[in-house]
Amino acid sequence: MTRKVTANISLTLDGRYHGPGGPADFGAFAPYVVSEVARDHMNRIWEHATTAVLGRVNAEGFIGYWSAVAEDDNADPRDRGYAKWLVNTEKVVFSTTLAEAPWERTRIVDAPVADVVAELRTSGAGDILANTSPTIIKALLKADLLDRLYLMIFPEIVGGGERLFEDGLPRTHWKLTEQVSGELGEMALVYDRVR
């Protein structure tokens, strides 16, 4: 049985995963990430996943932030559920600079993303989730290894910043399997790869 490879990311209407100010420019995203739709969507992304694949920069920010949420009794139960999953699940972090993992249940890998994920697919159980790591998701899209895309689309055009879907990707077909809209105009979408 081959494991499903999934990816989660939030995008603006113009397809950007951050604003023109660089990787830390998430001002346009702020009103939407704590919406009911976004929090419910976050719970969907990890419910079947047993492995998280992350880039180093994302891992450093995510694991540090979510570790505290996992221990916070006052946190929204959906946030806390995701946080506990992230802390306790198997993590594969891609890095050319880290020699060893500062986090529990984490393996550091300096190898091509597509090769590592293709190998992960053939053993174990549960989904493999590329979580909000654009470089990882781009490599998986290029290699046509993604089986499901979890997208949050925010009703903002930021006019700059990096795009997820770049020219040169292989042509693929996707089926919309879930769609939920929020009061702020945000949309949670789930697309499955048609093979």
SS3 at position 90: strand
pLDDT digits (tens, 9 = 90+) for 137-191: 999 999 999 999 999 999 999 999 999 999 999 999 999 999 999 999 999 999 9
Cβ–Cβ under 8 Å, residues 148 and 155: no
Assigned domain for 15 exists: no
Residues 123, 126, 127, 128: is their CA dihedral positive or negative? negative
Q: Could you tell me the CATH number of the domain that includes residue 150?
A: 3.40.430.10
**Cα gap 132→114, rounded to integer Å:** 16
112-130 pLDDT per residue, tens: 999 999 999 999 899 999 9
The alpha carbon dihedral of 171, 190, 185, 58 has a sign of negative
Cβ neighbours, 10 Å, residue 148: 19
Q: Does residue 193 sit within a domain?
A: no
Is 118 part of any domain? yes
pTM: 0.93
Residue 120 lies in a domain: yes
The answer to whether position 102 is within a domain reads yes
Does residue 165 lie in a domain region? Answer: yes
Name the residue range of residue 50's domain: 40-182
The total number of structural domains that make up the chain: 1
Structure-block tokens of residue 101: 């993992």
CB atoms within 10 A of CB 71: 11
